[in-house]
Structure 1
């Protein structure tokens, strides 16, 4: 029986890191899918347009949650199924559930009784505390620390080396800047920065 085709959607930085994860897990990748780079070779693999993908599985290796949603819908309409990739050097504690399409990179730690929703991403060296919930397409960048019982709503992103304290909620499509320390709930669609984190205000006009 021929092996299942596995495609990585996106040939940029996160896509190549997804390839690293797949290779470490001994999962051969067929090709990248990327309209902008179709026809190229990346890391020895062909880059195809998404509409060239044959039946099989896919992982969206793109950081932007909205792009992840768009490509997941496109590929599932073509009959492909979402794969979940976990690096063998990541630690996943008991009673934790990973939905289809998740990416967990090297040296990430996901604690007990955590739920990772569809197409969520936990990047390298990030930590996720007990009883935390990441909704669909939530993203935790490298080195970020999510404390226990946190809720990252759909499309929320926590930047590199940021901290979200215990029991807080980061709303849908909110963005926590790199190095921020979140001490209160973050409203939907809000970007917060600093320690303690505060909403990023637009520049004032003279």
Structure 2
């Protein structure tokens, strides 16, 4: 079985490891993250080192990687790391939990993670390096842009478009046929009933903008 490294060692990384184990798709080599080398992070998996040893890992024949860092206030952090690793030659397969229900015609980009009990319905497309977290629903004919994160229990209703690097909080709802721009944050429990322009932070029911 081909080996894969896990980038990051937080809570989301542990969830990703569980998905990979249950899917029997890769052998986990360990974590690349800040911390003490050899430190046990989850089960018997340990920290191999930080990002500065990635080239050494690649030279050892481990070319598969999984970006397992969750949303850290802005998705550009994950995007920067992904670009660095891709330049080294790493390949990022999509990781899909065995419990997820994904329509056969859904387009899924590289490096995307689809978690437990997620539903993605017909004619939808999910961009590169997205996170669809536990129990979220992406309905028919939706588009989720690259590096975006749809959190636990969120619902994206049919024919809606989520821009790039956008975060949809836990249990948020986006009603049908809406567009949310790039680099937006939609807070937990928010109900979106109108289109949202780029770089907006929205909360509440109905969604209202928070201005800095």
TM-score, with length taken from structure 2: 0.90
Cα distance, 1:51 vs. partner? 2.9
Q: Residue 31 of structure 1 aligns to a residue in which SS?
A: strand
Which of 66, 89, 93 is the equivalent residue of 1:59? 66
Name the counterpart of 2:197: 187
Gap regions ≥5 residues in structure 2: none
Q: Offset at 1:151?
A: 0.8
What are the equivalent positions in structure 2 for 1:1-206 lying under 5 Å apart? 3-26=1-24, 27-34=26-33, 36-39=34-37, 40-43=39-42, 44-47=44-47, 48-53=49-54, 54-55=57-58, 56-64=63-71, 65-202=75-212
Q: Counterparts of 1:89 and 1:143 in 2: how far apart (Å)?
A: 15
The root-mean-square deviation of aligned C-alpha atoms, in Å, is 1.2
Q: Which runs of 5+ in 1 are unaligned?
A: none
Using the alignment, how far apart are the partners of 1:63 and 1:152 within structure 2? Answer: 18
Shift of 1:28: 2.0
Pick which of 120-129 and 52-61 moved more.
52-61
> Contact 1:38/1:49 (CA < 8 Å) preserved in 2?
no
SS in 2 for 1:37: coil
The superposition leaves residues 128-178 of structure 1 with CA deviations (integer Å, 9 ceiling, x where unpaired) of: 011111111111000000001111111011000000011111111100000
Q: SS of 1:23's equivalent?
A: helix
Give secondary structure in 2 for the equivalent of 1:42: strand
Q: Which moved more, 1:193-202 or 1:140-149?
A: 193-202
Of 178-187 and 42-51, the range deviating more from structure 2: 42-51
Count of residues in correspondence between the two structures: 199
Instruction: Verify the 8 A CA contact 1:9 1:71 in the aligned structure 2.
Output: no
